[in-house]
Amino acid sequence: MRSRSLSRSIRRTFFSASLATLALVGGAALAPADAVAAGRLQPDLVVDLMVTDVLNPAEGETFNAEIDIRNNGTGESSPISVTVSVPSGLETTTPYATDAGWACTVASTTSYTCSYPELTAGGRASRLHVPFVVAGATPGSTVPITTTIAPARRESNTDNNTGSVTVAISGTCVIRGTVWHDLDRDGQREEGEPAIADGPDGVLNVRLWARQGQAIGGGSTTVNPDGTWSITARTELLYEVRVEASSAYARTVADMGDDATDSDMVTSYQFEPTLLVASAEFSAVHGGEYVVDAGLVTQS
């Protein structure tokens, strides 16, 4: 019994080892092909960045889409071809000839085609600038621009071959207000409290300040004898109203009581040599009307 049992055990062990060897042999036969596939050097072209040089262009104005493309893969790419869309509301114009390495043509009324030499692994193309003219876009709307890479070689990832950016089309709005002397310092403009008019002993100027460096907008004005002022301004950006006045004045309390008669100046920037007060930041959109009042008190 012991001898037969041992024999059966040896046969089972030999049979299992043979199966394992066959599996290893089969795996070894496939391994070289798999290894080649896994180790193949492939490009991975990506639209790395899309921005516009103006955040809020208006009808008839020209602006640029700025596009960065790089190769995140392990292998060199073939020469690059990209299509940049021209959506409704925008028009093509003459492409630039100054972007190093890039060559663009107007493919149709709805797109540009641009080409660039091959990129090494990890390489970045020089920034591509593509011009657009605003033509018929609705003020206050946002218009999408899309860049698509057409790979010439198999890539390790094609999900990143497209990038897009939206541009807001500027319109106009009215921003107005009143500057008055808050005699009782309660933050409310009441009957009998006088206006503070333009002049060296009154208001020096009213300005619209926009913090977005790539936005177009702003403006300034003087104050009327009755303390009122008004500016028609571009839109689709953030504004802050700043009032500069004689240092004989200080800022009254803001946002006290009725919004129609309170002061909207929430910040004092300086007191010498002049007073500079500012409102909170607000978003200006096409067709809007914004009332921003300033109550000032005698400097104590």
Residues 6+ apart with CB under 8 A from 92: 86, 106, 109, 112, 131, 132, 133
Residue 163 near residue 67 (C-beta atoms within 8 A): yes
Query: Which neighbouring-strand residues pair with 248?
Result: none
> Are residues 190 and 134 located together in one domain of the fold?
no
Q: Is residue 239 included in any domain, yes or no?
A: yes
13-38 average pLDDT score? 40
In a domain, 225, yes or no: yes
Residues 78 and 148 in one domain: yes
Output the pLDDT for position 23: 40
Instruction: Report pLDDT for 300.
Output: 81
Percent of the chain beyond pLDDT 90?
80
Are 107 and 150 in contact, with CB atoms under 8 Å apart?
Answer: no
Residues 176 and 294 placed together within one structural domain of the fold = yes
Q: In this model, does residue 51 exceed pLDDT 60?
A: yes
Q: How far is CA 268 from CA 135, 185, 197, 274, 279, in A?
A: 42, 16, 19, 11, 9
Same domain, 64 and 153: yes
Domain count along the chain: 2
Q: What digits encode the pLDDT tens for the residues 160-184? A: 999 999 999 999 999 999 999 999 9
As a whole number of angstroms, the distance between CA 275 and CA 277 comes to 7
Q: What is the mean pLDDT of residues 48-65?
A: 97
Clarify whether residues 268 and 164 are in a common domain: no
More confident residue, 131 or 4: 131
Q: Give the tens place of pLDDT for each residue, 132-168.
A: 999 999 999 999 999 999 988 899 999 999 999 999 9
Q: What is the pLDDT of residues 250-294, one digit of tens each?
A: 999 999 999 999 999 999 987 788 999 999 999 999 999 999 999
**Whether residues 90 and 162 fall in one domain:** yes
Query: Is residue 75's pLDDT more than 70?
Result: yes
Q: Give the CATH number, domain containing residue 215.
A: 2.60.40.10
Find the mean pLDDT for residues 125-135: 97
Provide the pLDDT confidence category of residue 39 given band limits of 50, 70 and 90. Answer: low
pLDDT at 112: 97
**Mean pLDDT of the residues in the chain:** 89
Same domain, 86 and 127: yes
At residue 173's C-alpha, the angle toward residues 171 and 177, to 5°, is 160
> Given CA atoms 96, 97, 99, 102 in this order, what sign does their dihedral have?
positive
Q: How confident is the model at residue 33 (pLDDT cuts 50, 70, 90)?
A: very low
Indicate if 116 and 161 belong to the same structural domain.
Answer: yes
159 with 177, same domain: the answer is no
- Do both 121 and 211 map to the same domain? no
The pLDDT, as a whole number, for residue 49 is 95
Q: What angle do CA 276, 278, 279 make, to 5 degrees?
A: 165
What is the structure's pLDDT at 99? Answer: 86
How confident is residue 98, by pLDDT bands cut at 50, 70 and 90? Answer: confident
Half-sphere exposure (CA, 13 Å, Cβ side) for 93?
A: 15
Is there a domain that residue 271 lies in?
A: yes
Predicted confidence (pLDDT) at residue 4 exceeds the cutoff of 50: no
| Closest to 63 measured CA to CA, from 140, 133, 113 | 133
Given a cut of 50, whether residue 5 has pLDDT beyond it is no
What would the mean pLDDT of 121-142 be, rounded to a whole number?
97
State residue 67's pLDDT score: 98
Q: Which domain holds residue 77?
A: 45-168
Looking at residues 188-203, what average pLDDT do you find? 96
pLDDT value of position 70: 97
pTM of the model: 0.81
